[in-house]
Amino acid sequence: DLNYRHAFHAGNFADVVKHALLTRLIAYLKRKEKPFRVFDTHAGRGRYDLNASEASRTGEAQAGVLKIAQSTTLRAEPLLADYFAAIDPDLREGFYPGSPLIARRCLRETDRLSAYELHPEDGGALRDLFAGDVQVKAISLDGWLALGAHLPPKEKRGLVLIDSPFEKPSEVDDILSGLEKALSRWRGGVYAIWYPIKRRALVEKLLTAIAGMAAGEALAVEVRIAADESAEGLFLGTGFAVINPPFVFAEEAKAIVDLLLPALKRDGSATARVFTLT
Ligand code: SAM
Protein backbone atom coordinates (compact mmCIF):
# COMPACT_ATOMS: atom_id res chain seq x y z
CA ASP A 1 0.00 0.00 0.00
CA LEU A 2 1.17 3.47 -0.87
CA ASN A 3 0.02 5.74 1.94
CA TYR A 4 3.08 7.91 2.08
CA ARG A 5 2.97 11.17 0.10
CA HIS A 6 6.13 13.20 0.05
CA ALA A 7 4.19 16.44 -0.57
CA PHE A 8 3.61 16.70 3.20
CA HIS A 9 7.32 16.58 3.95
CA ALA A 10 9.07 18.16 0.96
CA GLY A 11 11.84 20.51 2.02
CA ASN A 12 11.95 19.36 5.63
CA PHE A 13 15.22 18.98 7.58
CA ALA A 14 15.70 15.44 6.30
CA ASP A 15 15.29 16.51 2.67
CA VAL A 16 17.81 19.32 3.13
CA VAL A 17 20.47 17.00 4.55
CA LYS A 18 19.77 14.22 2.02
CA HIS A 19 19.72 16.52 -1.01
CA ALA A 20 22.77 18.55 -0.02
CA LEU A 21 24.74 15.29 0.35
CA LEU A 22 23.31 13.98 -2.93
CA THR A 23 24.68 16.99 -4.83
CA ARG A 24 28.15 16.31 -3.40
CA LEU A 25 28.05 12.64 -4.41
CA ILE A 26 27.21 13.71 -7.96
CA ALA A 27 29.92 16.39 -7.89
CA TYR A 28 32.55 13.68 -7.28
CA LEU A 29 31.27 11.64 -10.22
CA LYS A 30 31.89 14.68 -12.41
CA ARG A 31 35.56 14.75 -11.56
CA LYS A 32 36.07 12.18 -14.31
CA GLU A 33 35.02 12.87 -17.86
CA LYS A 34 33.38 9.48 -18.40
CA PRO A 35 29.57 9.64 -18.31
CA PHE A 36 27.65 8.19 -15.36
CA ARG A 37 24.06 7.31 -14.45
CA VAL A 38 22.04 8.18 -11.34
CA PHE A 39 19.29 5.77 -10.23
CA ASP A 40 16.57 7.13 -7.96
CA THR A 41 14.54 4.09 -6.86
CA HIS A 42 11.89 6.02 -4.84
CA ALA A 43 11.76 9.28 -6.71
CA GLY A 44 8.46 10.88 -5.67
CA ARG A 45 6.77 13.36 -8.03
CA GLY A 46 9.88 15.48 -8.53
CA ARG A 47 8.51 18.91 -7.66
CA TYR A 48 6.37 20.14 -4.73
CA ASP A 49 4.22 23.25 -4.28
CA LEU A 50 5.17 24.66 -0.89
CA ASN A 51 1.94 26.70 -0.78
CA ALA A 52 -0.33 23.71 -1.42
CA SER A 53 -2.41 22.43 1.47
CA GLU A 54 -0.22 19.37 2.12
CA ALA A 55 2.92 21.42 2.68
CA SER A 56 1.26 24.28 4.57
CA ARG A 57 -0.49 21.86 6.90
CA THR A 58 2.76 20.45 8.26
CA GLY A 59 4.97 23.55 7.94
CA GLU A 60 8.00 21.28 7.63
CA ALA A 61 9.64 23.28 4.84
CA GLN A 62 9.46 26.39 7.04
CA ALA A 63 11.72 24.71 9.58
CA GLY A 64 13.86 23.18 6.84
CA VAL A 65 14.75 24.53 3.44
CA LEU A 66 13.15 27.93 3.92
CA LYS A 67 15.37 28.58 6.93
CA ILE A 68 18.47 27.44 5.08
CA ALA A 69 17.62 29.53 2.05
CA GLN A 70 17.57 32.76 4.11
CA SER A 71 21.10 32.35 5.35
CA THR A 72 23.64 34.42 3.43
CA THR A 73 26.41 32.57 5.28
CA LEU A 74 25.21 29.19 4.02
CA ARG A 75 24.69 30.58 0.55
CA ALA A 76 28.36 31.55 0.45
CA GLU A 77 29.56 28.02 1.29
CA PRO A 78 31.22 26.26 -1.68
CA LEU A 79 30.08 22.84 -0.40
CA LEU A 80 26.45 23.97 -0.67
CA ALA A 81 26.78 25.79 -4.00
CA ASP A 82 25.43 22.91 -6.13
CA TYR A 83 22.53 22.41 -3.72
CA PHE A 84 21.42 26.04 -3.90
CA ALA A 85 21.90 26.12 -7.67
CA ALA A 86 19.63 23.06 -7.93
CA ILE A 87 16.84 24.32 -5.65
CA ASP A 88 16.76 28.08 -6.34
CA PRO A 89 14.88 27.94 -9.66
CA ASP A 90 11.97 26.23 -7.90
CA LEU A 91 12.19 28.10 -4.58
CA ARG A 92 11.75 31.37 -6.46
CA GLU A 93 8.37 30.03 -7.63
CA GLY A 94 7.33 28.71 -4.22
CA PHE A 95 8.23 25.12 -5.08
CA TYR A 96 10.78 22.64 -3.80
CA PRO A 97 12.45 20.16 -6.17
CA GLY A 98 12.61 16.47 -5.23
CA SER A 99 15.66 14.26 -5.56
CA PRO A 100 15.20 13.41 -9.27
CA LEU A 101 14.98 17.07 -10.29
CA ILE A 102 17.94 17.99 -8.07
CA ALA A 103 19.97 15.14 -9.54
CA ARG A 104 18.92 16.16 -13.06
CA ARG A 105 20.17 19.71 -12.52
CA CYS A 106 23.58 18.33 -11.53
CA LEU A 107 24.08 16.25 -14.68
CA ARG A 108 26.28 17.09 -17.64
CA GLU A 109 25.01 16.56 -21.18
CA THR A 110 26.40 13.04 -21.32
CA ASP A 111 25.09 11.81 -17.93
CA ARG A 112 21.76 10.07 -17.38
CA LEU A 113 19.08 9.63 -14.74
CA SER A 114 16.69 6.72 -14.19
CA ALA A 115 13.91 7.57 -11.74
CA TYR A 116 11.25 5.15 -10.43
CA GLU A 117 7.99 5.97 -8.64
CA LEU A 118 5.26 3.45 -7.92
CA HIS A 119 2.42 5.71 -6.76
CA PRO A 120 0.21 6.19 -9.85
CA GLU A 121 -0.40 9.91 -9.37
CA ASP A 122 3.14 10.83 -8.34
CA GLY A 123 4.57 8.53 -11.02
CA GLY A 124 2.44 10.31 -13.62
CA ALA A 125 3.59 13.73 -12.41
CA LEU A 126 7.19 12.54 -12.54
CA ARG A 127 6.82 11.35 -16.12
CA ASP A 128 5.20 14.67 -17.10
CA LEU A 129 8.01 16.61 -15.45
CA PHE A 130 10.66 14.87 -17.55
CA ALA A 131 8.64 14.39 -20.74
CA GLY A 132 10.89 14.99 -23.75
CA ASP A 133 14.09 14.99 -21.69
CA VAL A 134 16.36 12.51 -23.47
CA GLN A 135 18.69 12.26 -20.47
CA VAL A 136 15.98 11.05 -18.12
CA LYS A 137 13.96 7.85 -17.89
CA ALA A 138 11.03 8.37 -15.51
CA ILE A 139 9.34 5.04 -14.93
CA SER A 140 6.26 3.94 -13.00
CA LEU A 141 7.88 0.82 -11.65
CA ASP A 142 8.69 -0.80 -8.31
CA GLY A 143 12.08 0.58 -7.31
CA TRP A 144 13.01 -2.74 -5.66
CA LEU A 145 12.53 -4.48 -9.02
CA ALA A 146 14.73 -1.90 -10.73
CA LEU A 147 17.59 -2.79 -8.36
CA GLY A 148 17.43 -6.37 -9.59
CA ALA A 149 16.77 -5.67 -13.25
CA HIS A 150 18.33 -2.36 -14.35
CA LEU A 151 21.79 -2.60 -12.82
CA PRO A 152 24.55 -2.24 -13.80
CA PRO A 153 24.13 0.75 -16.12
CA LYS A 154 25.87 0.65 -19.47
CA GLU A 155 27.91 3.65 -18.31
CA LYS A 156 29.44 1.39 -15.61
CA ARG A 157 29.74 4.41 -13.30
CA GLY A 158 27.23 6.07 -11.08
CA LEU A 159 25.06 6.32 -8.03
CA VAL A 160 21.94 4.63 -6.64
CA LEU A 161 19.74 6.62 -4.26
CA ILE A 162 17.37 4.48 -2.18
CA ASP A 163 14.89 6.77 -0.44
CA SER A 164 11.98 4.56 0.58
CA PRO A 165 9.16 5.95 2.76
CA PHE A 166 9.79 3.78 5.87
CA GLU A 167 6.09 3.40 6.48
CA LYS A 168 6.49 -0.13 7.80
CA PRO A 169 9.32 -1.87 9.71
CA SER A 170 9.60 -4.54 6.98
CA GLU A 171 11.10 -1.91 4.69
CA VAL A 172 14.48 -2.55 6.26
CA ASP A 173 14.26 -6.08 4.85
CA ASP A 174 13.26 -4.68 1.45
CA ILE A 175 16.29 -2.40 1.49
CA LEU A 176 18.63 -5.20 2.50
CA SER A 177 17.40 -7.68 -0.09
CA GLY A 178 17.38 -4.93 -2.72
CA LEU A 179 20.94 -3.98 -1.86
CA GLU A 180 22.07 -7.58 -1.91
CA LYS A 181 20.73 -8.04 -5.44
CA ALA A 182 22.14 -4.70 -6.55
CA LEU A 183 25.61 -5.31 -5.15
CA SER A 184 25.81 -8.75 -6.70
CA ARG A 185 25.11 -7.17 -10.09
CA TRP A 186 27.09 -3.99 -9.59
CA ARG A 187 29.67 -4.06 -6.83
CA GLY A 188 31.37 -0.81 -7.86
CA GLY A 189 28.37 1.51 -7.75
CA VAL A 190 27.94 4.20 -5.12
CA TYR A 191 24.83 3.47 -3.01
CA ALA A 192 23.13 6.06 -0.80
CA ILE A 193 20.42 4.82 1.53
CA TRP A 194 18.20 7.20 3.48
CA TYR A 195 16.77 6.20 6.88
CA PRO A 196 14.85 7.90 9.68
CA ILE A 197 16.29 7.74 13.18
CA LYS A 198 13.24 6.67 15.11
CA ARG A 199 13.64 3.18 16.43
CA ARG A 200 17.27 2.53 17.33
CA ALA A 201 16.97 -1.26 16.93
CA LEU A 202 15.83 -0.87 13.34
CA VAL A 203 18.69 1.50 12.54
CA GLU A 204 21.18 -0.91 14.14
CA LYS A 205 19.84 -3.75 12.03
CA LEU A 206 20.11 -1.73 8.85
CA LEU A 207 23.61 -0.40 9.48
CA THR A 208 25.03 -3.72 10.70
CA ALA A 209 23.74 -5.48 7.59
CA ILE A 210 25.09 -2.76 5.30
CA ALA A 211 28.49 -3.06 6.97
CA GLY A 212 28.42 -6.80 6.34
CA MET A 213 27.45 -6.44 2.70
CA ALA A 214 29.84 -3.72 1.65
CA ALA A 215 33.03 -5.13 0.20
CA GLY A 216 34.74 -1.75 0.34
CA GLU A 217 34.08 1.26 2.49
CA ALA A 218 30.73 2.29 3.97
CA LEU A 219 29.78 5.19 6.21
CA ALA A 220 26.76 6.88 7.73
CA VAL A 221 25.83 10.52 8.23
CA GLU A 222 23.31 11.31 10.99
CA VAL A 223 21.66 14.55 12.07
CA ARG A 224 19.39 14.86 15.11
CA ILE A 225 17.58 18.16 15.45
CA ALA A 226 16.46 17.55 19.07
CA ALA A 227 16.64 14.96 21.83
CA ASP A 228 13.98 12.25 21.66
CA GLU A 229 12.68 11.18 25.04
CA SER A 230 9.58 9.39 23.73
CA ALA A 231 9.18 5.62 23.87
CA GLU A 232 8.08 4.89 20.31
CA GLY A 233 10.33 7.45 18.69
CA LEU A 234 9.54 10.80 17.13
CA PHE A 235 10.93 11.80 13.77
CA LEU A 236 13.74 14.05 14.96
CA GLY A 237 16.70 12.42 13.28
CA THR A 238 17.76 11.67 9.74
CA GLY A 239 20.36 9.23 8.45
CA PHE A 240 22.15 8.66 5.17
CA ALA A 241 24.31 5.58 4.67
CA VAL A 242 26.74 5.44 1.76
CA ILE A 243 28.40 2.34 0.32
CA ASN A 244 31.56 3.03 -1.72
CA PRO A 245 31.69 6.71 -0.76
CA PRO A 246 34.03 8.80 -2.87
CA PHE A 247 37.37 9.82 -1.47
CA VAL A 248 37.02 12.85 0.90
CA PHE A 249 33.22 12.43 1.15
CA ALA A 250 33.37 11.63 4.87
CA GLU A 251 35.21 14.84 5.61
CA GLU A 252 33.00 16.97 3.40
CA ALA A 253 29.80 15.38 4.70
CA LYS A 254 30.85 16.27 8.24
CA ALA A 255 31.53 19.85 7.19
CA ILE A 256 28.11 20.04 5.50
CA VAL A 257 26.07 18.72 8.44
CA ASP A 258 27.98 20.98 10.84
CA LEU A 259 27.09 23.92 8.61
CA LEU A 260 23.41 22.96 8.40
CA LEU A 261 22.87 22.03 12.04
CA PRO A 262 22.59 25.56 13.55
CA ALA A 263 19.78 26.41 11.12
CA LEU A 264 17.94 23.08 11.41
CA LYS A 265 18.24 22.35 15.13
CA ARG A 266 15.28 22.60 17.47
CA ASP A 267 17.15 22.58 20.75
CA GLY A 268 20.63 22.59 22.25
CA SER A 269 20.93 18.82 22.22
CA ALA A 270 21.04 18.64 18.40
CA THR A 271 23.95 16.65 17.00
CA ALA A 272 25.54 15.79 13.67
CA ARG A 273 28.02 13.00 13.05
CA VAL A 274 29.69 10.91 10.37
CA PHE A 275 30.98 7.43 11.20
CA THR A 276 32.39 4.50 9.27
CA LEU A 277 30.45 1.24 9.13
CA THR A 278 33.25 -1.00 7.92
N1 SAM B 1 13.34 10.66 -3.12
C2 SAM B 1 12.29 11.68 -3.06
C3 SAM B 1 12.94 13.01 -2.82
O4 SAM B 1 13.99 13.06 -2.15
O5 SAM B 1 12.43 14.02 -3.32
C6 SAM B 1 11.28 11.38 -1.97
C7 SAM B 1 10.75 10.00 -2.00
S8 SAM B 1 9.57 9.58 -0.77
C9 SAM B 1 10.50 9.55 0.70
C10 SAM B 1 9.31 7.88 -1.10
C11 SAM B 1 8.52 7.60 -2.38
O12 SAM B 1 8.58 6.21 -2.67
C13 SAM B 1 7.05 7.94 -2.31
O14 SAM B 1 6.76 8.86 -3.33
C15 SAM B 1 6.33 6.61 -2.56
O16 SAM B 1 5.15 6.73 -3.33
C17 SAM B 1 7.37 5.84 -3.31
N18 SAM B 1 7.31 4.37 -3.26
C19 SAM B 1 6.86 3.57 -2.27
N20 SAM B 1 7.10 2.28 -2.56
C21 SAM B 1 7.75 2.26 -3.75
C22 SAM B 1 8.30 1.22 -4.57
N23 SAM B 1 8.24 -0.05 -4.19
N24 SAM B 1 8.92 1.59 -5.71
C25 SAM B 1 9.01 2.88 -6.10
N26 SAM B 1 8.51 3.89 -5.37
C27 SAM B 1 7.88 3.59 -4.21
Give the Å distance between the CA of 123 and the centre of ligand 1. 9
DSSP state of 78: G
Quick check: CB of 122 below 6 Å from ligand 1? yes
Note the helical H segments in 52-186: 53-58, 65-70, 72-75, 81-91, 99-106, 120-129, 143-149, 171-185
Cα–Cα distance measured from residue 43 to residue 243, given in angstroms and rounded to the nearest whole number = 19
Using one digit for the tens of pLDDT, what is the confidence trace for 135-147?
999 999 999 999 9
**Which member of 15, 111, 163, 267 is catalytic?**
163
What is the rounded average pLDDT of the residues 250-272? Answer: 97
Quick check: CB of 165 below 6 Å from ligand 1? yes
pLDDT tier for residue 200 given thresholds of 50, 70 and 90: confident
pLDDT tier for residue 29 given thresholds of 50, 70 and 90: very high
Using DSSP, state whether 241 is helix, strand or coil: strand
Q: How far, in Å, are 11, 99, 137, 148, 224 from residue 140 at the CA level?
A: 23, 16, 10, 16, 33
Quick check: CB of 222 below 6 Å from ligand 1? no
Cα–Cα distance measured from residue 273 to residue 189, given in angstroms and rounded to the nearest whole number = 24
pLDDT tier for residue 2 given thresholds of 50, 70 and 90: confident
Cα–Cα distance measured from residue 43 to residue 26, given in angstroms and rounded to the nearest whole number = 16
Phi then psi dihedrals of residue 122, to 5 deg: -65, -35
Residue 232 predicted with pLDDT over 70: no
Residue 57 predicted with pLDDT over 90: no
Tell me: cis bond preceding 152? Omega within 30 of 0 counts.
yes
Going by C-alpha positions, the residue among 188, 146, 241, 254 that lies closest to residue 29 is 188
Quick check: CB of 145 below 6 Å from ligand 1? no
pTM value is: 0.97
Residue 149 predicted with pLDDT over 70: yes
Quick check: CB of 118 below 6 Å from ligand 1? yes
Give the Å distance between the CA of 164 and the centre of ligand 1. 5
Position 263: which residue type? A
Per the annotation, binding residues for S-adenosyl-L-methionine are 19, 42, 99, 117, 142-143, 163
Per-residue model confidence (pLDDT) at position 231: 63
Cα–Cα distance measured from residue 26 to residue 39, given in angstroms and rounded to the nearest whole number = 11
Using DSSP, state whether 91 is helix, strand or coil: helix
Active site residue 40: no
Cα–Cα distance measured from residue 247 to residue 244, given in angstroms and rounded to the nearest whole number = 9
Using one digit for the tens of pLDDT, what is the confidence trace for 66-125?
999 999 999 999 999 999 999 999 999 999 999 999 999 999 999 999 999 999 999 999
Using one digit for the tens of pLDDT, what is the confidence trace for 167-190?
888 899 999 999 999 999 999 999
Helix (H) or strand (E) holding 239: strand 237-243
Which percentage of the chain shows pLDDT scores above 90?
A: 89
Angle between helices 99-106 and 13-29 (to 10 degrees): 30
Contacts of 205 (CB under 8 A, 6+ apart): 172
Using DSSP, state whether 172 is helix, strand or coil: helix
| CATH fourth-level superfamily of 6-276 | Vaccinia Virus protein VP39 (3.40.50.150)
* Average per-residue pLDDT for the chain: 95
Nearest atom (ligand 1) to Cα of 146: 24
Give the Å distance between the CA of 73 and the centre of ligand 1. 32
Which percentage of the chain shows pLDDT scores above 70?
A: 99
The neighbour count for residue 273, using CB atoms within 10 Å, is 13
Per-residue model confidence (pLDDT) at position 1: 72
Cα–Cα distance measured from residue 160 to residue 3, given in angstroms and rounded to the nearest whole number = 24
